[in-house]
């Protein structure tokens, strides 16, 4: 099994997103998966031109010559696509959105009806010479807000995206109070270390079961510290 993570944080390897991805991949690797952490901030990926050269002229080949060609090369043999992004304005980061838009090159212009009679693109993987199953999706995100409810729009977006890709989202890891993971604080260290252990456990479960166990999921969604204390600390830092 191969898992490729795409980190859409503008802070790259200095981000909370990177911290979370590394722990999940550590657990996945322990469970036997081949893993790759692809940091978009280190790459030159430009905006999609919307020319559809990749659909009508040279299939899966983008007219733009940049690092997206390398990024897309991993789509040929990955089993799980891990999309990791900080929450920006209730959605993915701009960097992640540019990456997703450029993934159009790996899509198909053909349209079909789904089981509910709604239009969608056909499974582009079925048109390949060496057909393999469309990769499953894992979504990972963190936010400065504390509540899990802050990820509702992102949650809806990923489900719609998976539907159009003819695949499914097998795991979602949403971390409110995200800035706490990046702080060097002795009082927080046991809490952060425990959360990192849970992320590793989630990685192992994703590889072994293609999902996160309910008990692990519930623990992942617990607040790191009480909301009122967190908000007071955040507001004090911003003054």
**DSSP states of 26-94 as a string?**
HHHHHTT-EEEEEEGGGS--PPP----HHHHTSTT--SS-STHHHHHHGGGT-SEEEEEEE-BTTB--H
Q: Which CATH number fits domain 2-237: 3.40.50.1820, 3.40.50.360, 3.40.50.620, 1.10.3720.10?
A: 3.40.50.360
What distance in Å separates the CA atoms of residue 155 and residue 161, rounded to the nearest whole number?
Answer: 10
Q: Are 165 and 134 in contact (CB under 8 A)?
A: yes
pLDDT per position as a tens digit, 22-76: 999 999 999 999 999 999 999 999 999 999 888 888 877 889 999 998 888 888 7
At 127, is the pLDDT very low, low, confident or very high (cuts 50, 70, 90)?
A: low
Higher pLDDT, 40 or 109: 40
- Region 102-120 average pLDDT: 82
pLDDT for residue 131 is more than 80 = no
128 has a pLDDT exceeding 60: no
pTM over 0.85: yes
Q: pLDDT of 133-148, one tens digit each? A: 789 999 999 999 999 9
Judge residue 120's burial from the number of C-beta atoms within 10 Å of its C-beta, 0-12 exposed, 13-18 middle, 19 or more buried.
middle
Phi, psi of 18 (to 5 degrees): -65, -45
Nearest to 5 by CA among 144, 179, 173: 173
Average pLDDT over residues 107-130: 73
Rg (CA), the chain: 18
């Amino acid at each position: 099994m191969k898992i490729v993570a795409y980190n859409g944080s503008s802070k790259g390897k200095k981000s909370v997103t990177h911290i979370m991805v590394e722990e999940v991949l550590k657990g996945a690797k322990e469970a036997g998966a081949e893993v790759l952490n692809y940091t978009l901030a280190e790459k030159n990926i430009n905006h999609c031109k919307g020319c559809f050269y990749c659909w009508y002229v040279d299939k899966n080949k983008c007219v733009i010559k940049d690092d997206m060609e390398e990024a897309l090369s991993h789509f040929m043999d990955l089993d799980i696509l891990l999309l990791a992004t900080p929450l920006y304005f209730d959605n993915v980061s701009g960097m992640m959105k540019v990456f997703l838009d450029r993934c159009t090159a790996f899509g198909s212009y053909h349209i079909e009806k789904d089981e509910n009679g709604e239009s969608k693109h056909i499974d582009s993987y079925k048109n390949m010479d060496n057909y393999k199953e469309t990769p499953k999706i894992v979504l990972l995100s963190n936010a400065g807000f504390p509540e899990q409810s802050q990820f509702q729009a992102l949650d809806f977006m990923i489900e719609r995206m998976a539907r159009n890709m003819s695949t499914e989202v097998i795991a979602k890891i949403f971390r409110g109070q995200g800035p706490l993971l990046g702080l060097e604080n002795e009082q927080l260290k046991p809490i952060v270390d425990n959360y990192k252990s849970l992320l590793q456990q989630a990685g192992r479960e994703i590889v072994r079961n293609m999902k996160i166990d309910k008990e692990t999921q519930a623990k992942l969604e617990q607040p790191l510290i009480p909301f009122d204390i967190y908000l007071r600390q955040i507001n004090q830092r911003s003054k």
